[in-house]
Amino acid sequence: MSGKTKVVIVCGVLLVSAIMSGWMLPSRALEGHECFVTVVAREMLESGDWVVPTYNGEPRLQKTPLNYWLVAISSAIRGGTDELAGRLPSVLLAVVSTGAILLFVSEWSGFGAAVLAGLIWSTSFGFIRYGRSARPEMSLTCFVAIAMMSFYSGATASNRRKQIICMGVFWISLGLAMLAKGPAPLPLVGVPLFLYIVAGRRWKLIGKVLPVMGTIVFLAIVLPWPILVVDRLAEAAGESATLDFWKAEFVGRFMGTHDSGGKPVYYYLPYMFEFMLPWAAFVVMAMAAPFYKVWGEKRRVMFYLWLWFIGDIAIMSASGGKRMHYVFPAMPAMAILAGIILEDVIFTRCAYTARFARNLLLAHAGAAIVAAVGLAGYALSRPTALQPGVVVVTTGPGGTNAITGVADAWIDSVPMIIVSGQVTRNTMIGDSGCRQLGLQESDIVTMVESITKYAHNSSVNPEALTNKESFLLTRTCYNIH
């Protein structure tokens, strides 16, 4: 295959990655956790303070700041904070993660396996879900994946210069992963690498990872932000108060005493398959593949990927606090394993027979069609997923009874239009000074202004939005504009 052909194929895979993560990016209103990121980023730009993140003016230290910074930069370039600005950094990092898979897997297992791994990763459900989200999951996963892949390339490199470069990338990526969502990268990267070194008795590898210089680089990336935060908040809350907060947040979250506790040890089992859809069948195959000698030299990298996946699932399963996205950083390892296996199924046929390959591919094609039809049917059966809800209530108690629902929609970013009326114009309170003139009238506009994006009295406001403008307004995040 010529070099030009490879360039075209690589561009095609990256284009698929960009489309799957970025298609119709601004069309969906930001959900609650995304709003935490975008509001903090907006307040960073407004205040000029890039050290202490704030949400509604209060310090928000539950998450490390990289995603806030990226969204703030994106917002500054766009001239405002909206859905596109909030999600664009995740899209870019999603494409970067695909590019990293193409680069490293091509070196380990050949160009064909790299292309298939990149396509599997870019079309998996987990990638699509978090690649188009303002949440920090894709940032964390991208840098964890680069750290894990660069470590293996450095560990297996025969050239010392290449080894130093790869280990340098490893330490930098690990530091950026810590800024993306620390301290999660420490177990997500540390546990698989510990298992890899111990399982193969690769004690000499410790000296090759640049333990002194690498640690210095890592700490130079990670430590400045918490030091500045503690220093900035020392006068207001005290140094120990900030450190105690982080201890309760991170240690308590891992132990399950702070949040997300009470889930069973097998909690992540279904998500291993869900995140890999429509390639879920390869999860079972990948679990056994590294232990068969038929794979030859590929067993080494497959075993490393297996330890990466199993190590992350195991440590997150041992944690008392569990949420489904905690294991998302393990999914690139499974996507690469699936790519190596799929290359054999389609092309080389060293591990699988032609009959097995044909049956597997036909079954997957059928499953993909069924999934597509089911997804379309699900979307069509849920109008609220496609358009805002519309509610019409009467005046007085009809309007006040709707306030709780309006507040709930405001908090959850659910698009909704409320029409409250039915008071005759000649009995409206207006400027009469009376508390009540007609039938059960109440100043509903004033009551709901703080929990709506737009509220007006159509009888006294000739500049009211048209129906079309009202519907368009519901498609933007409530607490951005």
Given a cut of 90, is residue 133 above it in pLDDT?
Answer: yes
Is beta strand 58-59 parallel, antiparallel or unpaired with respect to 389-394? Answer: unpaired
pLDDT in tens, 57-66: 888 888 899 9
- pLDDT-derived band of residue 478, with 50, 70 and 90 as boundaries? very low
* End-to-end CA gap in the chain: 51
Mean pLDDT of 19-42: 87
CB atoms within 10 A of CB 479: 15
Kindly report the average pLDDT of the chain as a whole number.
84
- Nearest residue to 137 (alpha-carbon basis) of 88, 94, 75: 94
The winner for highest mean pLDDT among 144-158, 252-266, 442-456 is 144-158
Confidence band of 359 (pLDDT split at 50, 70, 90):
confident
0.85 exceeded by pTM: no
* Nearest C-alpha neighbor of 88 from the set 150, 41, 55: 41
Q: What angle do CA 355, 358, 360 make, to 5 degrees?
A: 105
Q: How many helices (H) and strands (E) does the chain have?
A: 23, 4
Q: What is the pLDDT of residue 173?
A: 98
Confidence at residue 479, expressed as pLDDT on a 0 to 100 scale:
37
**Quick one: tokens of 51?**
């050290």
Mean pLDDT for the stretch of residues 276-299: 91
**pLDDT at residue 404 in the model:** 81
In three-state secondary structure terms, 160 is: helix
Percent of the chain with pLDDT over 90: 53
Distance between CA atoms of residues 247 and 257, nearest Å: 12
Residue type, 420: S
Burial (CB < 10 A; 0-12, 13-18, 19+), residue 344, is buried
- Which amino acid is located at 280 in the chain? A
Q: Which residue has the higher pLDDT, 193 or 470?
A: 193
Does the domain formed by 388-473 have CATH 3.10.310.70? no
User: Is 477 a residue whose pLDDT tops 60?
Assistant: no
Residues of the chain above pLDDT 70, percent: 80
Give the tens place of pLDDT for each residue, 223-258: 999 999 888 887 666 556 666 666 666 666 666 566
Give the lowest-confidence range in 105-119, 210-224, 462-476: 462-476
pLDDT tens digits along 145-200:
999 999 999 999 989 999 999 999 999 999 999 999 989 999 999 999 999 999 99
Across 369-461, the runs of DSSP E, i.e. the strands, are: 389-394, 416-421
* Least confident segment among 110-124, 207-221, 254-268, 377-391: 377-391
Domain boundaries along the sequence of the chain: 3-350, 388-473
The encoded tokens of residue 222 equal 């990670």
pLDDT grade, residue 108 (50/70/90)?
very high
Residue identified by tokens 């490879």 is: 6
Burial of 451 (0-12, 13-18, 19+ CB in 10 A): middle
More confidently predicted of 331 and 418: 331
